[in-house]
Chains A and B, each alone.
Chain A
Amino acid sequence: MPENVKLHPHENCNCDRDGVALPPEIVLEVKNLTKKFQVDGGKVLTACDKVNLNAYKGQTLGIIGESGCGKSTLVRTILQIHPATEGEVIFEGQNILKLEGEALRQNRRKIQMVFQDPTAAFNPKMRVKDILCEPLLNFGLLKNSEVDAKAAELLQMVELPVEFKDRFPHSMSGGQRQRLGIARALSLEPQIIVCDEATSALDVSVQEKICELLVRLQREKDITYLFICHDIGLVDLMSHQVAVMYLGNVVELLEKGRLSVNGVHPYTKALIKSIFKVDFKPGEKIQPLEGDIPSPLALPLGCPFQSRCEYCQEICRSEKPQLQEIKKGHFAACHFVK
């Protein structure tokens, strides 16, 4: 970690100037959120199954899991890109899934998104300044004459040269384009930014710079991030609390501390073992988790992880374990983790 990002001096970021801890403020509350898709042949695909999560003000909620575990569907449902099947999302005291019309449109200002592929996220025929200011113009918050000045301000915020405002996205590198994506998400001054694998398409060195930028912006503006990722190392680095998802279920939730150290669910442990460390000892063998994630079209009875779990017993095949608090602020859904 480079020196220019300061570590917070206290164990917990939620303290006032005298170091007295304040309770964290909940910004977003996801309650029993379920998303099912109807597929051809009358089958039902369960992408999210009764998910419960809280996101706190100025903190990062990391969501981790393999492709197909439902993490993207979860945030897309929160953002109402597609309607939820069941459940509630409480934001500013109301269930935003019930919003309609203008109220829904106004609500979108407050939750914004940074996408995975910075190449596909922009209209290739728009100049940078138009990309950055389009959301503001949409909501009538900016006059056409102010576009240049606002674009310059946003570019500076994400440490890009001001001259970029007249360029097109194709003349920028992947890292620069991802900064542009962050600047666009920031333009409406949202309270929550969803980063859906925002750094997965980038090289390690560029990834690090983007993460530093995200952290700096969070400190300055008290933004909440929902940070989706499949790299445990990175989630550990970025997040205040982490949720591990598997087959549409949250199987482990850690509100404080580090997943890589404190993770107890067999799936979390398997994920940790799949990581390639730089300082491998010669002869040390990696232990990958075998097989693929099962089809969400036919959810198994019992524990979702049973087909790949080395500790699987009779009870796991018949009874689905619920998310239980095993320690303060640490939840896991496994019959054998107490």
Chain B
Amino acid sequence: MLLKVTDLDISYGSKATVTGANIELKKGEILSIVGESGSGKTTVIRAIMGCLPGNGHVSGGNIIFDGRNLLDNTPQQWREMCGTEISMIFQDSGNMINPIRRIGEQFIDYILTHAPQISRREAYDLAIKMLDDVRMPNPDNVMRSYPFELSGGMRQRVGIALAMTFSPKLLLADEPTSALDVTTQAQIIRQIVDVRDEYNAAVIIVTHNLGVASYMSNKIVVMQNGMVVESGLREEIIGDPQHEYTKELLAAVPVVGGKRYYA
């Protein structure tokens, strides 16, 4: 078991946001967390990454990753882990990249921060290789570009390339395709599946698109109002949902070729 989250409680100040969340994940597995906005799905993966915003804190439970409890980490240990063993892709990678610096400078900085022993030249080559791996056309050109010069899909690919640089054991993705078109979404999802196959990493993806969850996941966790209402293998959740809320979510997806309002 790579990751085992047991009875996790998270609060912002004194307000409980997530209660009693349980998640288990093996190497090479993809797990989706689905649910509506405000159901606490992003909060859970932020807790795993150790980056709860503001006054958010874990008030109960354990997060065991690779045999150790992350909640006992010192800030120094968090810094060593984030970006190398656990990394994250955000909803819009464009927002997490500095808008006034070129992609290349930031990519090299990122590599040198985590691997100070290698040279600038080697860092550049590694960055090019990573961009190439995520099927970025013309990586040299991308390295010279500013974030605003790239399309949303390309920025998201830069985000994936950054996140996979140190072959993390766990990749967290927070609504990585919600800001994208259907066509770009399909490209990015395929990319994340490829990354899993190539690096044998475990992936947790937060999404409200049940189609995406159904396509890529081994396991699905359904959250509502800060609680896990149902979790299990993909086939069980999609094929035989037990909880009312899961059924509601599944019924709400507009189906191509399904029912419509007009005959």
Contact = CB atoms under 8 A, between A and B. Distances in A.
Interface of A: 1-2, 5, 7-13, 60, 66-67, 173-174, 203-208, 211, 215, 230-234, 236-240, 258, 260-261, 270-272, 274-280, 282, 286-290, 292
13 contacts: A66-B182, A173-B37, A204-B253, A205-B248, A208-B252, A232-B256, A274-B183, A275-B186, A277-B256, A278-B211, A278-B214, A287-B186, A288-B190
Contacts of A7: 259, 261-263
B211 A275 contact: yes
A66 B151 CA distance: 12
Count class of interface residues, chain B: 35 or more
Given A274-B185, A277-B255, 6 more contacts: A8-B263, A13-B262, A203-B37, A204-B254, A231-B182, A234-B254
B121 interface: no
Given A66-B181, A66-B183, A237-B254, A5 B249 contact: no
B238 interface: yes
Interface string B162-186: 0000000000000000000111111
A288 B186 contact: yes
Nearest to B151: A292
B41 to A, nearest CB: 11
A279 B249 CA distance: 13
Contacts, number: 136
A2 B151 CA distance: 37
A239 B263 CA distance: 10
A229 to B, nearest CB: 10
Contacts of B263: 7-13
Given A12-B263, A258-B260, A280 B215 contact: yes
B132 to A, nearest CB: 16
A203 B208 contact: yes
Interface of B: 36-38, 151-154, 181-187, 189-190, 208-212, 214-215, 235, 238, 248-263
Secondary structure at the A interface, as helix, strand, loop or mixed, is loop
A292 B261 contact: no
A236 B260 contact: yes
A258 B254 CA distance: 13
A230 B151 CA distance: 17
A116 to B, nearest CB: 11
A277 B214 contact: yes
